[in-house]
A and B are shown apart, each in its own frame.
Chain A
């Protein structure tokens, strides 16, 4: 659909989120004026924005919401959980409609009926009857609030007279010419002629039936306008409206980078020089200004920009006032309402940029050896300092390119308050949600991975973790449970923790359940440590049945959570204390496009192991490695960990050298830790992982190839597949 519509969708989504947050705050504290105001503003803006498009049920619904809130604001109605439910339902409906509009371009067929039901719901329990009277006169002309910028500029500001004229469809037969009436309106500032319904194809159209609607604004008073419509008093509404002065359409917010860049262009135009130099500067400045304006969402006629770039003064005025005069032929285009807040870039372009940055690092890495070959002379010194500078720049570039994809975790946190509220209400529990670290940033791909598992964990914690108030009271806990969702950055990755102060998981019950489900033999289950028993919730096939939740286990789909997180190169950990709560920790890499690996050596080749899997690296004396036939194990951090040798895994000959200690990488895989013995452990490096292609694709055990900063190629291992 049109750009205007796209913008509408983005705006509505933001408004719905704002409204949802304000509603939550308001429900918690019904006396919170700021939230009522914010909620009211959101509904009001939604109403105005929706009036631009053909979506009457939407407008009707938000209008009703606005009315309800206006009663609330005036203290004529009280906030109740039931009313909050209804308002939430209205917001949800709006969100669904917007999704439908985006997808199908039209509201669903049942929209009008749905709106009606919701509107009745909100009106229910209304105590006062003067709701209609409370609607101000400005509300009688909602379209006035939704004029496009171009129209606003044309009508001016202050007190105006609005005319809303919907002629009788049969009016042509009585000799009326609705359009002609507007010729008699004094100081006509705006006249919009719109079909009241989509016009039918010409063949089915009755040329003598009027299907148009007229909306106009005049600078004259109501009494001066009314006489023009004396013949059609029943079809016209005339009233005065006040238009707030329009914000100065400054090209870019002052102090922003764009503003500084625009100012710089003006400065360049004033530089001294001969005619040819000035001409080329003018062309360059015009290109720059046009590009900056387009990026700001203010695409402007090329000719107008070029005309403005004659000297600094003209350019500054052009930027402040807009084009001096509109080209006569151009139709007034629907101006974009506000500078776009986000710049949308296709992911492919980002990937291309990342790939280029990767190549650049590789090429830069080859400079080192060259510099060393240059010896010690003056030239070599210069080369060295040049290399250092290049090094820094490439590093910064890489960092900047990486950051382009980062978004705050607030995106995945946003749905949580609502989820907690609804679920807690359904379960009759009282739960305080504490969100921390919403500003933590992670790659967009990671956020996409994180969203679903997080909802799952929160739902589980509410369902199975936090107890009902009576039970909490009986164990001496405060009746309201606390659910804490905390995000922070760690080891080059992002960590999200979901912890509750609920009943926790009973390891004994987990062991019994595992045996009952036939997942473990009784003696194997008995041998499990408590921590490992709790970790059983992640085992596939463990947690789908109801019996698990009866055992106070948390369960539904925890293996799905684990699978999703591990697919993205992350890790899930769980810790639980029976009686006092459970904590689930998701660790994910910062980005999917750059993987942090530990470089290890085996049989003379380099390999990478994703850092997310690495729990530690250490030297283990040979004597501490216990071997039973070919199976070896080692005790690390009080755990018996199976030990595998990378050479053997890769089918390489064993290490003949006699060594006193082995280098061991402790890999934390989903079903327990594994110690991987390697020849040597090198640096940690950020690499762009490239999947195996062509004939190599069928090779299992490798996640892909990557090039190190110095140009050496490594194979990145997929330990899960390899073991």
Chain B
């Protein structure tokens, strides 16, 4: 699984595909204050991006991938 869920933190790793959409949606909905770590993510499917835009989780680390880094219009790292 390219996304590892660890209590309230989801780590995105390598290429995250549309297959991850449903589990991610459920996790985002079930978690009170979700945080995501995108640093190791190399590819993010549009469906996942859309979920992140809707849920606006705290991004503990942005993607290192240059293309994703400029695309992701997410709020800056939380306090």
A195: B residues at CB distance < 8 A:
50, 53
Residues 145-182 of A contacting B (Cβ, < 8 Å):
167, 172, 176-180, 182
CB distance B77 to A210 under 8 Å?
A: no
Residue interface bits B33-68, CB-to-A below 8 A is 1, else 0: 000000000011111011101110000000000010
In the bound complex, what is the Cα–Cα distance between A180 and B45 (angstroms)?
A: 7
A178: B residues at CB distance < 8 A:
46
CB distance B18 to A202 under 8 Å?
A: no
CB distance A193 to B21 under 8 Å?
A: no
Check if B8 is an interface residue, CB within 8 A of chain A: no
CB distance A191 to B70 under 8 Å?
A: yes
In the bound complex, what is the Cα–Cα distance between A277 and B76 (angstroms)?
A: 38
Residue of B nearest to A206 (CB): B25
Residue interface bits A405-427, CB-to-B below 8 A is 1, else 0: 00000000000000000000000
CB distance B43 to A180 under 8 Å?
A: yes
In the bound complex, what is the Cα–Cα distance between A211 and B43 (angstroms)?
A: 19
- Most chain-A Cβ atoms within 10 A of its Cβ — which of B18, B24, B29? B18
CB distance A193 to B73 under 8 Å?
A: yes
B75: A residues at CB distance < 8 A:
331
- Contacts A199-B54, A205-B54 hold; do A329 and B47 have CB atoms under 8 A apart? no
Check if A639 is an interface residue, CB within 8 A of chain B: no
B53: A residues at CB distance < 8 A:
193, 195, 199, 212
Q: How many B residues touch A, CB cutoff 8 Å?
A: 25
- Contacts A200-B54, A203-B29, A329-B77 hold; do A177 and B67 have CB atoms under 8 A apart? no
**Of the residues B44, B51, B76, B77, contact of A207 by C-beta under 8 Å:** B51
CB distance B21 to A207 under 8 Å?
A: yes
A179: B residues at CB distance < 8 A:
44-46, 49, 71
- Contacts A193-B71, A199-B53 hold; do A207 and B46 have CB atoms under 8 A apart? no
CB distance B24 to A207 under 8 Å?
A: yes
Residue of B nearest to A331 (CB): B76
In the bound complex, what is the Cα–Cα distance between A376 and B44 (angstroms)?
A: 89
Residue interface bits A234-267, CB-to-B below 8 A is 1, else 0: 0000000000000000000000000000000000
Residue of A nearest to B28 (CB): A202
In the bound complex, what is the Cα–Cα distance between A180 and B18 (angstroms)?
A: 12
Check if A183 is an interface residue, CB within 8 A of chain B: yes
- Residue positions of B touching A, CB distance < 8 A: 18, 21-22, 24-25, 28-29, 43-47, 49-51, 53-55, 67, 70-71, 73, 75-77
- 19 A-B Cβ contacts within 8 A? A167-B46, A172-B46, A176-B46, A178-B46, A179-B45, A179-B71, A182-B71, A183-B67, A192-B73, A195-B50, A203-B29, A205-B54, A207-B21, A210-B50, A211-B50, A212-B46, A212-B50, A330-B76, A331-B76
